[in-house]
Amino acid sequence: MFKSRDTSTFIPPHPRSMTIHTESVSTTLESLRSNPEVYQNLETLLTNVNGNVPLHKRFRALFTLKNLCDEKSVDIIAKAFTDDSALLKHELAYVLGQMKNSYANDILRSVLSDKSQDPMVRHEAAEALGAIGDLSSLDILEEYLDDENPVIRETCELAIARINHENHPDKRGKPSSNVTVYTSIDPAPPNTDIQSVSRLQEILLDTRLPLFERYRSMFALRNIGTKEAVLALSEVLLHDPSALFRHEVAYVFGQMQSPDSVPALLSALENKNELYMVRHEAAEALGSIATSECLPILRKFRDDDERVVKESCEVALDMYEYENSNEFQYADGALGYR
Ligand SMILES: [Fe+2]
Ligand SMILES: [Fe+2]
């Protein structure tokens, strides 16, 4: 099991979990930042100028840029929004949000406004603006509150609520309640006022409540992490009317890596009537959990008709193989082809 690895060198197989924290790595990052060739190599890989870079290597280049986390990295990531893979582009937007650098606001605004981009990519741009959390992003998020796509509308609603929450006078300057073993910047802070799983479940499943409150329960349940919490979250993945909420639960399951979530994830991925962004998130979560029952289904859907699902399975399988190989150089993308 992945969890048993030494966390100082452990690179989780879920692509979004690739954040490195040790001191030696920060020294490595400093030396990478001082080398212009590193940025050139990463740009060549990420933007696939030669047309022959496999998707998983482009993902690794992206996560190296995330770790470098400077304006030069933002500029390189911005160039890849002309690509034709919605999977890659939604990850670009996600990474820009997680870098939490206001320098990325301009490119994220233009992606959200660009209706020729896949809704999954626009959704992730709106969410990233919320993650960065600047009050100056409220105008554009309000503009798309009545987008024709419910996924965009709901994402903007959440991002606005998050920005207002983070900038509330009671909150400014205080440490974020969003600090957990999970390193992601989430679209809503966990509800830390309620400890009862059954009460959190009631809020989670109450479709009359604002999505932001329901998300806060979801992240609280993630942090509690018991089987009971997983089963409550499975109810959302299997039955909630909001595709956005279902996809976020699948993402959270990828973080939790609980085998108890596998039945709901398998059923989401196998359901061809489910929205592709939910199936994609289920595939990545299964790649992250990677018990013996997960891998055959990822291999099966590696040929799915839906490109985003097919590519998610490819990347998930790569992450699994990577995790089980001896390749532990997180920044290999920086050093050219391997
Ligand atoms: Fe998302
Ligand atoms: Fe995703």
Q: pLDDT digits over 205-229, tens only?
A: 999 999 999 999 999 999 999 999 9
> What six digits make up the tokens of 55?
């998707």
**Cα-to-centroid distance, 123 and ligand 1 (Å):** 7
pLDDT (tens digit per residue) in 237-259: 999 999 999 999 999 999 999 99
The per-residue pLDDT of the chain, averaged, comes to 88
Question: Is 56 annotated to bind ligand?
Answer: no
**Cα-to-centroid distance, 146 and ligand 1 (Å):** 19
Give residues with Cβ within 8 angstroms of 187, minimum separation 6. 127, 130, 131, 155, 158, 159, 162, 215, 248
**Cα-to-centroid distance, 134 and ligand 2 (Å):** 23
**Cα-to-centroid distance, 168 and ligand 2 (Å):** 29
**Cα-to-centroid distance, 90 and ligand 1 (Å):** 8
**Cα-to-centroid distance, 30 and ligand 1 (Å):** 30
Question: Is 248 annotated to bind ligand?
Answer: yes
User: At residue 335, does pLDDT exceed 90?
Assistant: no
Residue 256 CA: distances (Å) to CA of 94, 163, 183, 241, 243: 19, 25, 12, 23, 20
Q: Are 43 and 79 in contact (CB under 8 A)?
A: yes
Q: pLDDT at position 316, please?
A: 87
Q: Of 22-26, 102-106, 171-175, 329-333, give the lowest mean pLDDT range.
A: 329-333
Residue 239 CA: distances (Å) to CA of 85, 280, 281: 29, 17, 16
Residue 28: which of 337, 334, 336 has the closest Cα? Answer: 334
Question: Is 247 annotated to bind ligand?
Answer: yes
User: At residue 331, does pLDDT exceed 50?
Assistant: no
**Cα-to-centroid distance, 295 and ligand 1 (Å):** 23
Amino acid at 211: L
Ligand closest in space to the Cα of 131? 1
**Cα-to-centroid distance, 248 and ligand 1 (Å):** 6
Q: Are 112 and 145 in contact (CB under 8 A)?
A: no
Question: Is 306 annotated to bind ligand?
Answer: no
Q: How many angstroms separate the CA atoms of 173 and 279, rounded? A: 38
**Alpha helices, DSSP H, located in the chain:** 23-33, 36-47, 55-68, 71-79, 86-99, 105-113, 119-132, 138-143, 150-166, 197-205, 211-224, 227-239, 243-256, 262-270, 276-289, 294-300, 307-323
6 versus 111: the higher-pLDDT residue is 111
Question: Is 166 annotated to bind ligand?
Answer: no
User: At residue 19, does pLDDT exceed 60?
Assistant: no
Q: pLDDT at position 16, please?
A: 57
Q: pLDDT at position 177, please?
A: 54
- Residue 276, class by beta-carbon neighbours within 10 Å (0-12 exposed, 13-18 middle, 19+ buried)? buried
Q: pLDDT at position 218, please?
A: 98
**Cα-to-centroid distance, 233 and ligand 2 (Å):** 18
| b (16+ CB within 10 A) / e for 181-191 | ebebbbbbbbb
Question: Is 123 annotated to bind ligand?
Answer: yes
Question: Is 281 annotated to bind ligand?
Answer: yes
Q: pLDDT at position 176, please?
A: 54
Q: pLDDT at position 95, please?
A: 97
Q: What percentage of the chain has pLDDT greater than the value 70?
A: 85
- Residue 277, class by beta-carbon neighbours within 10 Å (0-12 exposed, 13-18 middle, 19+ buried)? buried
Question: Is 293 annotated to bind ligand?
Answer: no
**Cα-to-centroid distance, 2 and ligand 1 (Å):** 24
pLDDT (tens digit per residue) in 79-133: 999 999 999 999 999 999 999 999 999 999 999 999 999 999 999 999 999 999 9
User: At residue 236, does pLDDT exceed 70?
Assistant: yes
**Cα-to-centroid distance, 169 and ligand 2 (Å):** 32
Q: Are 210 and 188 in contact (CB under 8 A)?
A: no
Residue 237: which of 196, 205, 200, 202 has the closest Cα? Answer: 205
Q: Is the pTM above the cut of 0.85?
A: yes
> What six digits make up the tokens of 317?
């399988």
**Cα-to-centroid distance, 337 and ligand 2 (Å):** 26
Give the pLDDT band (50/70/90) at residue 170.
confident
User: At residue 1, does pLDDT exceed 60?
Assistant: no
Report the pLDDT averaged over residues 51-62.
Answer: 92
Q: pLDDT at position 10, please?
A: 31
Give the pLDDT band (50/70/90) at residue 279.
very high
pLDDT (tens digit per residue) in 308-330: 999 999 988 887 777 676 554 44
When mean pLDDT is compared over 44-48, 173-177, 288-292, the highest value belongs to 44-48
**Cα-to-centroid distance, 280 and ligand 2 (Å):** 7
Ligand closest in space to the Cα of 86? 2
